[in-house]
A and B are shown apart, each in its own frame.
Chain A
Amino acid sequence: MTRQIFIRLLRNRISLSCLIILALLYLCAIFAPFLSPYPPSTQNLKKAFHPPTAVVFKDWKLQVKVYENIDPSAAQYQAIEGETIPIKFFTGGKLFGLDTEDDQARIYLLGSDSTGRDVFTRLLHGARVSLTIGLVGISITMTLGFVVGALSGYLGGKFDSVMMRYVDFLLAIPTLYLLLALRAAIAPYFPSDKMFYVIIIALAFITWSSSARVIRGMTLSIRQRQFVLAAENMGQGKFAILFKHILPNVSSYLLVAATLSIPNYILGEAALSFLGLGIQEPEASWGLMLSQAKSMKVFMLNFWWLLTPGFLIFITVIAFNILGDVLRDIVDPKMKTTS
């Protein structure tokens, strides 16, 4: 069945393009150290808020223009006429770099930030955090959601009512406040460079409840089906039934729910980091990078390249949402009966 779904995903033009975009983003994240020209925390204090360096084709080589700081008091740069530095490929374990002895020269494909760090590099490294938080997060949520939901639905009785009241309790608290409270409660036990785990724990803790609720409902209806009753009569154990009969029947829901909730993780991380409570400097994440852009000067002095993490968050979230929508269409039971 999984294969069938996959083939249909590939046939749909929209979902195919989403898959390609996401695959590209994840590949970039995986190969970030290779693709990026610099380590993510390398600064150049003489090149703060440097605009993207223009790349030109000259002498049969790709070259970048050299800029001079014409007004340091407002971070204004201007390209020096005719002066360029060639780009060298596959150098020093990197995909590309500058072919020069000058260690102050930089290639900034997407400009630099307030301490002269390369935004392109930080985007790639930030992607590692922002994109994996979703994947790690949903695997925790879906496991928890399935175990709690299916057990509640299947066992019923006291376990069911206790767990469901707890779920109600979690659902009743506004998400952002719960997130902030959880973050405040867990953070002191982690050093600041392990903030990644704090965010995953906090986000997973608040998102599992709704899927548990749905899975419980599905389990309630599935356990009345004849094949479950038959298995019970033939003496199959409770957990065997859960995993062999119930899990396959809720797996399509899990798949759709998982795809649709990845964006929540990405946005949750962005929100926390934006508020200064998530990933901490000098690590990189899209939300953290975006929080640098909230300062007035970014808008007023037109440092647009600092907004690129926002654009990437947007693209990723849209891609996951569309993919989830298409998936839901595919696994929808009605469609399955007609085909």
Chain B
Amino acid sequence: MRTDFIREFCKWGSKVEKMVCHSRKIPFISASFEIVAFSYKTYSQVSVTLLIAGLVAFLTGCGPKTRNLDHIVEMPRTPEPYIVELPYPGRSSDMYIKSIAGDISTLNKVVAEDTYSMLIIDLFSRALVWIDKDTSEVVPGLAKSWEVSEDNKTYTFHLRRGVYWSDGHPFDADDVIFSFDCYFDERYPNRNQVYMAVNNQPYEITKIDDYTVQVTTAVVYAPTLLTLVEGYILPEHILREDFENGDLFDSWSLSTLKNEPEKLVALGPYVLESYKPGERITLVRNPNFYMEDQAGTPLPYVERVIVTIYRDMQAAAAIFAQGETDTALDRILPADVPWVEKNADKFDFTIYNWGPTANLTFLWFNQHEGVNEDGKPFVEPHKQKWFRDKRFRQAISYAINREGIINAVIFGRGQPLYSFVPSRFTNWHNPEIRKYPYDPEKSMQLLQDAGFVLGGDNILRDSEGNEVTFSLMTNQENEMRTEMCTVIKENLADLGIDLELRFIDFSTLITKTGDSFDYDAAIMGLGNGHPDPSSLKDVFKSEGRLHLWYPQQETPSTEWEARIDELTDELNLHLDFETRKTISDEIQLIMAEEQPVLMLLSPNYYAGFKSKWKNIKMPMYGEPDWNLYELWADE
């Protein structure tokens, strides 16, 4: 009922706009317009709302043009659809409103780096293979099946026949070849050049016939299929010209969406319709999408997706709590759940508690041995001596009251974390690793073993008499992390360590940890990644850019780092799970024992949906509405 009304109302609004907007274009009418459009509460207010909306539209000028959707051409269904078995096969639904906490920057996969752009690209693009995030298995995408050669290096993909782009152009192997030409072209440096390469040799892609392609890797490389998920197929018939001219970076930009949306053809479940910077993105259903439910109903069910853009997560959570969006961002922060939950009955939504997230929050010490441009060491030598001492790192790990932090800062809605592979990933998590529960006495013992002495003045000194004091930095926008820091400061004060807290903005934090290295210790997080531990290659390997404590080493600086390098390489050389699991277990054991990175906690994963939405599936990682194409509203 409600969404119907909103749709009608929007149509009406755009009619009014058309009537009054001949004279002049003023770009920002719809800020006020939209608030009015989506914030009505009861029917008694509707007429007033209509009146105000009309006035606003009339007074401020023009809104977005209604999009001409002629470029979406419905073609016959593919004879080889991907059929999903759904718990609730459904029917068509009108509209789904979601929110993101920041604007997008591009729609071009070759350019995209930020989360929110990737999220929108996900909605209209597809690759050869896809990931079912509830099982985290690789499943067929545009390729209906594949075979692996005996030497485990060649993957032969059989493409789905009779799949069309949203503009009616047929999809075939040429699009696949073209896409990888784009990704591997030296003129266009992009992430896939790193992901889809082994020992700096990019995958070899060959066309066998119109519906068969082969992907060959230089050596056996276990995450091959996983990396191909990132290889969204690009349309040769649209982008070939830009590619040849060297303009690929400029194509499929935000202005393409504003001025020539017909160029943004889709293979994914949705087609982009319109975009208002800083306000919203709308997408409509792609009738040519290759998926169907078990009853033969083509997916997706939802006709139109509206993505509203908010400044921050709290604003998005507040809007959800007022019943105005169908889902609450990517997740609700644990500390926000108690108040969002209060409105659950009033606005008929449900909050799902999906257990500890795969998001990692951790602390590490700067162990960099290098010197800066002036020849001064990044870390003062006496501090470096502490930071490179395993016992010191373990002592600090024991000294941090993780349980206490969880109780106070996130209302007990989380779990302490000790491993890079969180317990959420039951397949890969190694429960045997060393754990560091809060134990100040053990901590003091370790420090004494390492030669530290606690003086009568309650100040800890190292064997050379230096007072133990260092700084800890984190990004100031993240309330959970800053509060965590104040607790850690108190915890360490009990040991006689003076911790100096530095709250800085995120970009400075990134520069300091990845470039200038002028810091002692830092707290940061890593987002949701695929459970397969090879996705952490960049963290584990000593030459990696994300080898937080001492990145991009020429040769491993310690024996255990050398061992982890070896294991990480080994991990990629095997395809069978058992062998890989044994290797990954050993990596986790070493990391937990050496504590180069002190894992802190993983907050619970809370997702919020209007109760009417069916087929919601808990993902191992990523967005709660990752299977948007399967959702439908039971109204």
Enumerate chain A interface residues (CB-CB to B < 8 A): 41-43, 45-46, 48, 72-75, 114-116, 191-193, 276, 280-282, 295-297, 300-301
Contact = CB atoms under 8 A, between A and B. Distances in A.
B342 A43 contact: no
B337 to A, nearest CB: 8
Contacts of B489: 41, 282
Q: Tell me which of A46, A73, A75, A295 has the highest count of chain B C-beta atoms within 10 A of its own C-beta.
A: A73
A196 to B, nearest CB: 15
A217 B497 CA distance: 56
B608 to A, nearest CB: 14
Contacts of B338: 73-75, 297, 300-301
Interface stretch (B213-221, B232-240, B500-508, B550-558): B500-508
A313 B407 CA distance: 31
B318 A296 contact: yes
B426 to A, nearest CB: 24
B413 interface: yes
A282 to B, nearest CB: 5
B499 to A, nearest CB: 10
Contacts, number: 82
Interface in B455-509: 476, 479, 482-483, 485-487, 489-490, 500-503
B483 A192 contact: no
A45 B407 contact: yes
B487 A281 contact: no
A73 B502 contact: no
Interface in B329-370: 335-339, 341-342
Contacts of A115: 408-409, 483, 486-487, 490
B339 A276 contact: no
Interface in B385-435: 401, 404-405, 407-409, 411-413
B317 interface: yes
A295 B490 contact: no
Given A73-B411, A115-B409, A281 B502 contact: no
Contact of A72 (B412, B483, B503): B412
Q: Which of B318, B413, B501 has the most CB of A within 10 A?
A: B501
B490 A43 contact: yes
A217 to B, nearest CB: 42
Contacts of A72: 407, 411-412
A130 B503 CA distance: 20
B317 A280 contact: no
A296 B339 contact: yes
Nearest to A192: B502
A187 to B, nearest CB: 10
Most buried by B among A72, A114, A191: A114
A115 B500 CA distance: 18
B582 interface: no
Given A73-B413, A296-B339, A281 B482 contact: yes
Interface in B293-325: 314, 317-318, 321
A300 B409 CA distance: 16
A43 B486 contact: yes
Contact of B408 (A48, A280, A282, A295): A48
A300 B483 contact: no
Given A41-B486, A114-B483, A116-B408, 20 more contacts: A41-B489, A43-B490, A45-B401, A46-B404, A46-B408, A48-B408, A48-B411, A72-B412, A73-B338, A73-B412, A74-B341, A74-B411, A75-B338, A115-B408, A115-B486, A115-B490, A282-B501, A296-B314, A297-B335, A300-B339
Interface residues of B, number: 33
A39 to B, nearest CB: 10
A114 B484 CA distance: 10
B353 to A, nearest CB: 10
A282 B314 contact: no
Given A282-B486, A296-B318, A45 B339 contact: no
B339 A301 contact: yes
Contacts of A280: 501-503
B490 A296 contact: no
B429 to A, nearest CB: 25
11 contacts: A45-B407, A46-B407, A73-B411, A74-B411, A115-B483, A192-B502, A280-B502, A281-B501, A282-B486, A282-B489, A282-B490
Contact of B409 (A42, A48, A193): A48
A168 to B, nearest CB: 32
Contacts of B339: 296-297, 300-301
Nearest to A112: B408
Contacts of A43: 408, 486-487, 490
Contacts of A41: 486, 489-490
B500 A193 contact: yes
A191 B471 CA distance: 10
B376 to A, nearest CB: 16
A125 B342 CA distance: 35
Nearest to A47: B408
A73 B335 CA distance: 9
A74 B411 CA distance: 6
A46 B342 CA distance: 23
A71 to B, nearest CB: 8
A114 B405 CA distance: 10
- Central interface residue in A42, A192, A296, by most chain B CB within 10 Å: A296
A115 B341 CA distance: 22
Contacts of B479: 295
A281 B503 contact: yes
A295 B411 CA distance: 15
A191 B479 CA distance: 21
A300 B335 CA distance: 11
Nearest to A276: B476
A198 to B, nearest CB: 13
Contact of B407 (A48, A281, A297): A48
B485 A281 contact: yes
Nearest to B499: A282
Nearest to B341: A74
B500 A192 contact: yes
A114 B503 CA distance: 17
Nearest to A43: B490
A43 B493 CA distance: 12
Contacts of B314: 295-296
Nearest to B484: A115
A281 B317 CA distance: 26
Q: Which of B338, B476, B483 has the most CB of A within 10 A?
A: B338
Nearest to B476: A276
A72 B479 CA distance: 19
Contacts of B335: 295, 297
Interface string B499-529: 0111100000000000000000000000000
